[in-house]
Amino acid sequence: MLLGVLFSVACDPIDEETSNNANNNANNPTNNPTNNPTNNPTNNPTNNPIGCVYEGPLQPGEVCSPVEPGIVQDGCPSYHLCHTVQGVSTCTPICNTLYTECGPESTWICYDRVMLQGEVPYANLCVPKDECNPYFNPNNGYNAMSGCGTHHRCYGFMGANLNTKCVLENDPSHPLGLGKKGDPCTNSLDCSFGHVCEGPPSEMVCRYLCMDDMDCDINYCDFNTTGSDTLGVCR
């Protein structure tokens, strides 16, 4: 998959054989990133880096053309990546911290990471959340699959609130862990489904998601942490 990222980083030299704009960008002070700081040059993470890409006319979510040799503009705005999913390429926002809120009014989740070539090793992608239920209690008929497709499990991720995403059970890019209540973790995917990774950065542990105190044995179900009316974490 060939990708183009749009954010301010140093650029690879433009290959004149694949870019008709190389000389124009070098000689025109309005296109030169050194002379015009309002333009955001980007590193082209293709198999054959071909230079700087400047902010395009497309809007977030619009269909785009990934950068490849001979094409030096994917049309996406700054801080977006022309990302291809199931054969469709759209301008996708990039984000900073995985598994936290991002995107329009913080209603999306920073979830996918794509590896790049050049000076920027990777980019995190901001994608829509899934309306699914991560609660797991087979005795009551809950299997953490509601709202997801076949072979997917719904996982909760703690940001400002509980964010949910359907995760493919055998996806090598998002391997599922086996952590149980109290086990150390760095994110919820280190835990088994039905759990969420929560706590201060240096003390994060897997906590069981609960619907009431009866799910937590001698502990209680804390709804304040998740910001949810229906799911809390066992304390």
pLDDT in tens, 78-133: 888 888 887 888 888 999 999 999 987 788 999 988 877 666 778 899 999 999 99
Q: 200: burial class by Cβ within 10 Å (0-12, 13-18, 19+)?
A: exposed
Domain end call among 95, 128, 161: 128
Quick one: 23 and 50 in the same domain?
A: yes
Domain end call among 128, 157, 191: 128
Return the pLDDT at 101.
Answer: 92
Return the pLDDT at 54.
Answer: 59
Quick one: 203 and 170 in the same domain?
A: yes
Quick one: 84 and 181 in the same domain?
A: no
Quick one: 62 and 149 in the same domain?
A: no
Q: Is the pTM of this model over 0.75?
A: no
Half-sphere exposure of 181 (CA within 13 A, CB side): 12
Helices (H), the chain: 22-27
What number of residues does the chain have? 235
Quick one: 49 and 91 in the same domain?
A: yes
Quick one: 68 and 105 in the same domain?
A: yes
Return the pLDDT at 46.
Answer: 38
Are 73 and 44 in contact by the 8 Å Cβ rule? The answer is: no
Quick one: 97 and 141 in the same domain?
A: no
Identify the segments of the chain with pLDDT beneath 50: 1-52
Domain end call among 90, 108, 128: 128
- Domain limits at 174? 136-234
Number of domains composing the chain? 2
Return the pLDDT at 131.
Answer: 94
Q: 9: burial class by Cβ within 10 Å (0-12, 13-18, 19+)?
A: middle
